[in-house]
Amino acid sequence: VTAADRLTELGIQLPDPFPAFGNYVMSVRTGDTLHVTGHVPVTAGGAVTGKLGADLTAEDGYAAARAAAICLLGTLQGELGSLERVGRLVYLHATINAAPDFTEHTAVADGASDLLVDVLGERGRHARLAVGVSSLPGDVALEIQVVVELTPDLPRT
Amino acid sequence: VTAADRLTELGIQLPDPFPAFGNYVMSVRTGDTLHVTGHVPVTAGGAVTGKLGADLTAEDGYAAARAAAICLLGTLQGELGSLERVGRLVYLHATINAAPDFTEHTAVADGASDLLVDVLGERGRHARLAVGVSSLPGDVALEIQVVVELTPDLPRT
Amino acid sequence: VTAADRLTELGIQLPDPFPAFGNYVMSVRTGDTLHVTGHVPVTAGGAVTGKLGADLTAEDGYAAARAAAICLLGTLQGELGSLERVGRLVYLHATINAAPDFTEHTAVADGASDLLVDVLGERGRHARLAVGVSSLPGDVALEIQVVVELTPDLPRT
């Protein structure tokens, strides 16, 4: 089953690749490794903003992390042409905009991890770091940044 | 002198590999690079929690970082079979749960770095980023996340 | 045009490689990838300290990020012998010491990104993660940490 099949089964339509808002690019390849810029949660209603544990609940955060992962897949689809070129999701860094007494980062980050494993299968399983930060650009609820191993058959560009 | 010898000399018994608490795995290999999930400080008395500069002193933090590094070595021992398969500790990211006016992150992170260099020798010397975050999962005192270069003789799995 | 030429055109003289203040090294090479330790902003007047959105404006932050990038280039020059050995700047992680209501991280991080692209040209374009943290070592205003792809002709050391 391909990632595209799974997305169809889940009723998810990927957004266009995410645009850059500063002087950076959305991903850089080195060897067979792709470093991807941090993605924020954007839904049909716009960017999800606010702090976990103050403005947003852990459930809100789970949904936001899932939305950010969908934005990330949109970028990967655009940059790679196909999600089948994802050989392995290696590492995911979740930075969560949170109040100082927030403790449910694991549950929030699982919103991204669950979606990525659901769509990519075993190759979606990743090492992870989830932390709470005091502020994020535009007061977005979270950012997820990943390192991806590409399939070896990807032609060098 | 092997890492196992040094651990014996230091009187350190490695814990079992650290378990995952969410939908992630403890490490992912890509090429000869191993990305390892963030490790928290757990001792015989349980997880070390609280904020540096509020609930914990820099000395407490140094001990917590050392404990997290020991947990990390337990995971590496379990995942790799032997710490001799660590060719080089490349990068260590220390995220320290800290009050806004805390400034001694370097001294805290050295608790992990000192232990890793003590056990692994020259191959334990690493690039580092140490930052203070406003909250961490379960209010743990810190997390350390590493990138490891594996020895080239490790059979591909 | 070389990076050295661009630095001359910009009137920038690189500082000496940055020293380590704890038990870490300033960079570690694995394969053709160089992981570089977090760099802080140091100018002729000393380290730039304080929190964005409280003690410092976004404009101050832009200048501080530019200063940190210059320190980073000084380290790369020292460790690599020449900035021409930078094949590609792959990833930049900006951690910004900021008040909880600060939102202009993108503008601040661009201070580093603009300088690096200005000096390195296209090979300076990088993936990025910019976050606001609650505290940093010595209350410095920010840290930038990078992953660099080296040119393939660099002799293995």
Kindly state the average pLDDT of the residues A94-102: 98
CB A76 within 8 A of CB A147: no
Cα angle vertex B5, ends B3, B9, to 5°?
A: 115
Please give the DSSP secondary-structure letter assigned to residue B140: B
Separation between Cα atoms, residue A36 and residue A48, nearest integer Å: 20
SS3 content of chain B, % helix, strand, coil (to 5): 35, 30, 30
Q: Give how far C23 is from chain A: nearest CA, Å.
A: 22
- Percent helix, strand and coil across chain A, each to the nearest 5: 35, 30, 30
ipTM: 0.95
Q: Which of B105, B125, B133 sits opposite C137 (nearest CB)?
A: B105
Give B28-83 pLDDT, tens digit per residue: 999 999 999 999 999 999 999 999 999 999 999 999 999 999 999 999 999 999 99
Closest alpha carbon to B65 in B37, B36, B105, B11: B105
Q: What is the mean pLDDT of residues C44-67?
A: 97
Contacts of A103 in chain B (CB under 8 A): 135-139
pLDDT band at B155 (very low <50, low <70, confident <90, very high): low
Q: Is A135 on the interface with C (CB under 8 A)?
A: yes
Query: pLDDT band at A152, cuts 50/70/90?
Result: confident
First vs last Cα of chain B: how many Å apart?
Answer: 27
Neighbours, chain C (3 or more CB pairs < 8 A) = A, B
- Sign of the dihedral defined by the CA atoms of residues C109, B34, C89, C11, in that order: positive
The shortest CB-CB distance from C102 to any of A38, A51, A135 is to A135
Q: Is B13 on the interface with A (CB under 8 A)?
A: no
pLDDT at B157: 54
Contact B30 A88 (CB under 8 A): yes
Task: Tell me the per-residue pLDDT of A45-63, one tens digit each, with 9 for 90 and over.
Answer: 999 999 999 999 999 999 9
- Å between A14 CA and nearest CA of chain B: 22
Residue C156 vs residue C29, higher pLDDT: C29
DSSP helix/strand/coil, C15: coil
- C148 forms beta bridges with C34, C89
CB atoms closer than 10 angstroms to residue B138: 13
pLDDT of residue B17: 95
Rounded CA-CA distance B116/B88 in Å is: 11
Contact A48, A104 (CB under 8 A): no
**How many angstroms away from the CA of C54 is the closest CA of chain A?**
13
- pTM of the prediction? 0.96
DSSP 8-class letter at C139? G
Q: Which residue of C has its CA nearest to B113?
A: C23
Predicted pLDDT of residue C153: 66
- B27 near A CB under 8 A: yes
Question: Residue A54's closest CA among A143, A132, A156, A154?
Answer: A132
User: C4-38, pLDDT tens digit by residue?
Assistant: 999 999 999 999 999 999 999 999 999 999 999 99
CB C54 within 8 A of CB C108: no
Contact between A144 and A68 under an 8 Å Cβ cutoff? The reply is yes
Contact A157/C at CB under 8 A: no
pLDDT in tens, C88-101: 999 999 999 999 99
Task: Give the Cα-Cα-Cα angle B117, B122, B126 (nearest 5 degrees).
Answer: 65
pLDDT band at C152 (very low <50, low <70, confident <90, very high): confident
| Two structure tokens written together for C110 | 């661009």
